[in-house]
Structure formats: structure tokens, C-alpha cells
Amino acid sequence: MSSPLAGNPRPNANAKLYEKLAKKPLGTRLFGALVAFKAPFFMTSQPQLKTLRPGLAEVRLTKWWLMQNHIGTFHVISALNGAEFAMGCLAEISLPDTHRWLPQGMTTEYKAKSTGGLTLTATMDLPDFSTITKETGGRRIPVTIKFVDDAGQEPMTATIDIWVTAKS
């Protein structure tokens, strides 16, 4: 099994922790729980981290009664909570320790009702981080999130822009 940090020559502390935990039974669940502990609003969506490596994060959201809306489908705000979790994990494992990120904005498109739980796949094209310096300023990088429900349909999509800068 290759390292989940392959592709990030200078992983930050969170990425190193993920690599260490991912090798252990239930380690990815523990990492997800630690992220939710740091940002407690993630606890409501109970995200399960399935895959994490630079440029890719896969997260599973199980549908349960606190996650559904008045028509019995997955509530969109709960789904977007999962999208932000996936984006944050992706950014942490993708950025070198010389850079930082902040979410800058989110756009969503609702296409259809969902059936059951959701699997989220977050992707981003990794820039040449050496070109993002204090002198050149920051760069907006879009993170695309694809949502697939238990019926195999794509009920929504989202894009979260992150602002990446070099650390001082």
C-alpha cells in the first residue's frame, strides 16, 4: 500500500497524523472523529472518511432521522456540512506545510431528490505551490464535490473555493 501522502513532499502535522492513523484498524474513523471534535458542527453529519490523499477525499454520510428534511430525503444543509468536511480534509492533506488555506465561498446545484445516504467525492487540481509565495499573493483553488446517493444518482454538486497563501 502506498503512502496516502505520496504527492505531498512537505506534509503538515494533520497530514502526518492521518498517515499514522490510516495504518491502524478504524484509524480513518478516529481521524474523522478528531476533525469533528476540533470543529464540532461536523458531528451532526457523522462523516466517515473513506479515502484521503492529495487531490482526493471520499466521505460517506449515512442517512438517519436527524439528517433528513420534511420530505424524507437527505437535508441539503447536512449534505453541505459533509462537503465542507471533505474539502477541509482534502485541503489539509494536499497543502504542504509551507502554505495555509481558508474557505472563500461555496456554490451548489440541486438536481434531484436523494435516496438513502450519500457518498461525497471531493477533488482539486494541485497547483505548483512554489508559485504561491508572499510576493505573488494567494490563489483561489476550486474544490469540486460530487454527491452520489444510494440509488447511484447525483442529486447535487458543490464547489468550494479555498484561498491558498504562503505562510509568513
Task: For the domain made up of 13-166, give the CATH fold.
Answer: Thiol Ester Dehydrase; Chain A (3.10.129)
Query: Which grid coordinates are listed for 11?
Result: 506534509
Domain ranges of the chain: 13-166
Contacts of 30 (CB under 8 A, 6+ apart): 21, 24
The pLDDT tens digits for 7-21 are 667 878 888 888 888
The rounded mean pLDDT for the chain is 89
d(CA 91, CA 47): 16
Residue 2 has pLDDT above 60, yes or no: no
The pLDDT tens digits for 58-94 are 999 998 888 888 888 888 999 999 999 999 999 999 9
DSSP 155: -
